[in-house]
Amino acid sequence: MSAVALLLGLLVIAHLGSQLVGARAAGYGLASGAEYLVLGVVFGPYVLGVVERSTIASFAPVAAVGTAWLTLIIGVGYGFWGNRRVRFRGLVAGIALSAVSGGASAAAVYFLAPYALPLGEADRRLLAAGVGLVSCEMAQHAVQWVVGRHGAEGPLAELVGEIADCDDLVPLLGLMVSFSAVRGAILPIGVLPVSLQWWTSVLGTLVLGVALGAIAATLLRTEPRASDGWGALLGASLLGIGVAWRLGMSPQTVTFVLGMSLAAFSRHGVELRGMFARTERPVLLPTLVLAGAQVKVDHIAPFVSITALALAVRIVVRLAMAPVFAGLARAPKDIAAPLALGLLPTGALTIAIGLVYAMRFPGPVGDTVLAVATVFTIFGEIVGPASLRRAFVGAGEIAAVPPGVVATNARGARAPEPMP
Amino acid sequence: MSGANKKKTASQRVAQALVMAVVFGLMLGVTKLAPASKGASGVILGVGFLLLAGMLVSEVLELVGLPHLTGYLFAGAIAGPQLLNLVDHDSVQRLEPVNTLALSLIALAGGTELRIDLLKRVLRSLVWATAVQCVLGIAVIGTAFVAISRFIPFTAGMNLSALAGVGLLWAVLAVCRSPSATLGIFSQVRPDGPVSRFSLAFVMTSDVVVAMLLTAAIAVARPLIEPAAGFSLKDFSDLGHEIVGSISLGTTLGLAVAAYLWLIGGQLLAVLVALGFGLTEALHYLRFDPLLAFMVAGFVVANFSEQGEKLLAAIEETGSVVYVVFFATAGAHIDLGLVRRLWPVALFLVGVRITAIFVAHRFAARLSGEDPVVRRWGWSSLVSQAGLTLGLSVVVERAFPSFGSGFRSLVVANVALNETIGPILFKFALDRTGESGKGTLEKTFHESIPPPPVAPKREPA
């Protein structure tokens, strides 16, 4: 069977599954998305074996472009919650949560990894960095889902939304440094990078992203509508991804910076965010399926301890920081526990980083990072939205209602439809 | 870019020139720093660069009134392996799936544009034009080919009957048109009027006619070229299978797309991309013609459901990407060395072809009582040739391996010239007739078609 036909078939199954599971599970507080990841795991080469390893390998470029496109979408919308700019405290809170969570996980893994996996010093650092990067994010979708479905409205909902938006900066900058610091690793597309100093590579990543964003914005300026400029947007993005790969830089960071720069320079900012948001799901689904298929569940034993450790650190950090956030939003302190668990969901960015790591650093390091990202995503989807809802109820931003009754927000208004 | 039809200010032009310099400079720098490109990175880099370069070069050429397609072609030729080698040969070859996707979307758009109202209105012109273009075109172009055969390397040593056979094959390929070039010009200038209506209907329907003609030509030419071979009808059986299969699958696909649009409607772009990649592969496997199947699918959606406008709007949104990638890749494919070597013969044959098209069109237009403006300018859309002709030349190459390679090289050189000249002529004609910018794609062919003229009642004697 051809690789293209297989992927399309899997996507159709995933789409149908999503329609069924999503509709049934909606009442139980699950945000749709992880089912594609699970589907990839089940049909992948390490469980049912419907998809062979060689087939998965042939999709590496698709996955790599997909992850870079996802970070482009994140970049275009960075610093915005809905259609308004995030406030300074939201920005700081997001970056702080992300940095502390990532840093603590990385440190814990660095010191305890030798007990779980026999790794050299360089791989140990790389693993610690990778686990740290996938520990940073809190998924925007989970917040949007709870806010949209239950009509949460108030300072806590706003703050959590802003945190979820702003925490993406840290892992993407970290990814850039990881790519720049480790030279000569096998790239997913088999290109040998030129020998650049790490700081040249970091600088190059940022300059390339800013320059291509400015170029796309310049080309869009002559268009009456941003949607007429897809050619310029796609061209700039693919050029950035291609250049970054060839020079061994992080394409995901280049497109993230490109997105930020584009949103800053273009007069079509609002329209652009809407346009890119529409492309997220078609790109995310195959990326999730491919990521799931790459998770080596047949050799899970060595990864279990690291995954458990990283998850524990992630929970502890959130438990420690949740009271601060509750205080910032002037919410009761007793919501700290559900809020901490509500900050657990991870999403597109975490899986993207896990997948990129698995492709860029094949072997135990990449496999472990992807496994950790997958567990975070599934665990977060199960625990997160329901806990977040409880936190919002505790803060009085959702009216507590018995099951089956239409939810209303704190002002008694009927909740809007869930976000797509 | 759609904004191209508006006047741009000097500062916008300067900004575009700067951006062009940066993009070319960046690409030159990268290819110098890391020349290795084996693998997908070359393709990704190539597509990104061709998209930007195509758009920017087309903006520059717009200053002298050239169509955007010509800009895309030039960008591809300049960046391709023959000149600057910014997009190398390997990457150009690997761009094939992207091209396939582009072609399937172009065919789908073409089918969506063809409305039964339109076909009914231009049916008489269509029949006359097809008949005269085929008969006169094949006779004139085939004769010209035989006449200059002594200058064509691969015909050396052939006797007159073999030359006649090769000339027949050549002439059939010469009556082939380019749906993609026609739709590409439409996408840029948004025309509305009799010339654009005639062009659209003629060029879109000529695909089937040429496929049938080529099969017949191969069957007739084989005994002329290889006296030991007899006349065989097997090729017709294969062709029948291909055409009927393509139409059947295309109809099914069209109904499925219409049902999807009606029931779900969301994520249409993703569905189209999946169809473009997945179904083209399946159609190739079944030996059906993807171009015909997609065109039929578009036709079914547009004419037998109420979802045509929705589909067309979605495809139009891809226009700023699809045409640039398709034609810039075509430009990168142009073998400039070959054109340099064969240009005198190729130029002569192109000249004869254009003359034959012009004369045949004037004659057919007179016979069908065509509108004066169509009579004068309708021929301009029939000059372009592109991927379809190249695809058919591969069929000839496979059927006649003894001279097929040289034959195909000459076809490539001719298509390179026709691909460059054709869009320029067509855009010039649309500008001169005042049809440019008179409508959107939808409005042009669906809403603005005037009702058929009512025959005046005969006065009683």
Question: Mean per-residue pLDDT for B196-205?
Answer: 88
Interface test with A, best of B11, B20, B33, B41 (most A CBs within 10 A): B41
Residue type at A84 in one-letter notation: R
Interface of B with A in 47-106 (CB under 8 A): 47-52, 54-56
Q: A85 has which bridge partners?
A: A80
Interface test with A, best of B24, B27, B52 (most A CBs within 10 A): B52
The shortest CB-CB distance from A218 to any of B15, B26, B318 is to: B15
Contact check, Cβ <8 Å, B22/A237 = no
Q: Do B24 and B74 form a contact (C-beta atoms < 8 A)?
A: no
Q: How confident is the model at residue B38 (pLDDT cuts 50, 70, 90)?
A: low
For residues A224 and B404, what is the distance between their CA atoms, to the nearest angstrom?
Answer: 49
pLDDT at A11: 54
Q: Do A343 and A363 form a contact (C-beta atoms < 8 A)?
A: no
Rounded CA Rg of chain B:
22
**Nearest chain A Cα distance for residue B315, angstroms:** 12
pLDDT at A92: 93
For residues A321 and A341, what is the distance between their CA atoms, to the nearest angstrom?
Answer: 11
State percent of chain B over pLDDT 70.
Answer: 91
Q: Comparing B80-94, B293-307, B360-374, which segment has the lowest mean pLDDT?
A: B80-94
Contact check, Cβ <8 Å, A242/B48 = yes
pLDDT at B6: 59
The shortest CB-CB distance from A239 to any of B45, B278, B281 is to: B45
Q: What share of chain A is helix, strand, coil (3-state, %, to 5)?
A: 75, 0, 25
Q: Do B166 and B381 form a contact (C-beta atoms < 8 A)?
A: no
Per-residue model confidence as pLDDT tens digits over A272-310: 888 888 788 778 878 888 888 888 877 777 778 888 999
Q: Which residue has the higher pLDDT, A57 or B362?
A: B362
> In chain B, which residues fall in CATH 1.20.1530.20?
102-447
CB-based contact, B5 to chain A, within 8 Å: no
pLDDT score of A413 more than 70:
no
Q: Which residue has the higher pLDDT, B91 or A108?
A: A108
pLDDT at A417: 41
Kindly report the average pLDDT of chain A as a whole number. Answer: 80
Per-residue model confidence as pLDDT tens digits over B125-170: 889 999 999 999 999 999 999 999 988 888 888 889 999 999 999 9
**Which domain, by its residues, includes A344?**
3-22+29-189+273-394
Q: Which residue has the higher pLDDT, A168 or B34?
A: A168
Two tokens, residue A19: 């329609």
pLDDT score of B307 more than 60:
yes
The alpha-helical segments, DSSP class H, found in A221-343 are: 230-246, 251-265, 269-294, 301-328, 336-342
Q: What CATH architecture applies to the domain B102-447?
A: Up-down Bundle (1.20)
Chain B residues with CB-CB distance to A243 below 8 A: 26, 30, 45
Question: Mean per-residue pLDDT for A375-379?
Answer: 89
Domain count, chain A: 1
Question: Mean per-residue pLDDT for B314-340?
Answer: 80
| CB neighbour list of residue B145: distance below 8 Å, 6 or more residues apart | B152, B163, B166, B167, B170, B171, B349
Assess if residue A238 is contained within a domain: no
For residues B177 and B175, what is the distance between their CA atoms, to the nearest angstrom?
Answer: 6
- Domain containing residue A120: CATH number: 1.20.1530
Instruction: Write the ipTM.
Output: 0.83
pLDDT score of B63 more than 90:
no
Distance of CA A219 to the CA centre of its chain: 29
CB-based contact, B317 to chain A, within 8 Å: yes
Q: Is B438 helix (H, G, I), strand (E, B) or coil?
A: coil
The shortest CB-CB distance from A242 to any of B1, B38, B44 is to: B44
| CB neighbour list of residue B14: distance below 8 Å, 6 or more residues apart | none
Question: Mean per-residue pLDDT for B285-297?
Answer: 84
| CB neighbour list of residue B263: distance below 8 Å, 6 or more residues apart | none
Q: Which residue has the higher pLDDT, B335 or A255?
A: A255
A-B contacts at Cβ under 8 angstroms: 150
Chain B residues with CB-CB distance to A239 below 8 A: 23, 26-27, 45, 48-49, 51-52
Q: What is the pTM of this model?
A: 0.81
Report the residue of chain A nearest B35, measured CA to CA: A246
**Nearest chain B Cα distance for residue A414, angstroms:** 26
CB-based contact, B25 to chain A, within 8 Å: no
Report the residue of chain A nearest B9, measured CA to CA: A222
pLDDT score of B212 more than 60:
yes
Distance of CA B65 to the CA centre of its chain: 21
**Nearest chain B Cα distance for residue A262, angstroms:** 14
B369: left (phi over 0), alpha (psi -120 to 50) or beta: left
Question: Mean per-residue pLDDT for B211-231?
Answer: 81
**Nearest chain A Cα distance for residue B329, angstroms:** 14
pLDDT score of A405 more than 70:
no
Q: Do B189 and B437 form a contact (C-beta atoms < 8 A)?
A: yes
Q: Is A409 helix (H, G, I), strand (E, B) or coil?
A: strand
State percent of chain B over pLDDT 90.
Answer: 25
Q: Comparing A11-25, B27-41, B410-424, B432-446, which segment has the lowest mean pLDDT?
A: A11-25
Contact check, Cβ <8 Å, B277/A8 = yes
pLDDT at A1: 44
Q: How confident is the model at residue B448 (pLDDT cuts 50, 70, 90)?
A: very low
Q: Comparing A28-32, A86-90, B51-55, B84-88, which segment has the lowest mean pLDDT?
A: A28-32
**Nearest chain A Cα distance for residue B456, angstroms:** 46
Kindly report the average pLDDT of chain B as a whole number. Answer: 83
Q: Which residue has the higher pLDDT, A208 or A51?
A: A208
Longest CA–CA span in chain A (Å) reads 62
Q: Do A284 and A388 form a contact (C-beta atoms < 8 A)?
A: no
Assess if residue A81 is contained within a domain: yes
pLDDT at B447: 44
Q: How confident is the model at residue B350 (pLDDT cuts 50, 70, 90)?
A: very high
Assess if residue A301 is contained within a domain: yes
**Nearest chain B Cα distance for residue A305, angstroms:** 36
Q: Comparing A199-208, A323-332, B394-403, which segment has the lowest mean pLDDT?
A: B394-403
The shortest CB-CB distance from B44 to any of A11, A61, A231 is to: A61
Contact check, Cβ <8 Å, A236/B42 = no
Q: Comparing A7-21, A147-161, A372-386, B199-213, which segment has the lowest mean pLDDT?
A: A7-21
Chain A residues with CB-CB distance to B37 below 8 A: 191, 246
Chain A residues with CB-CB distance to B274 below 8 A: 8, 11
**Nearest chain A Cα distance for residue B360, angstroms:** 39
Per-residue model confidence as pLDDT tens digits over A23-32: 444 444 345 5
* Residue B232: how many other CB atoms lie within 10 Å: 12
The shortest CB-CB distance from B3 to any of A190, A223, A230 is to: A223
Q: Comparing B35-44, B108-117, B313-322, which segment has the lowest mean pLDDT?
A: B35-44
State percent of chain A over pLDDT 90.
Answer: 27
For residues A160 and A383, what is the distance between their CA atoms, to the nearest angstrom?
Answer: 16
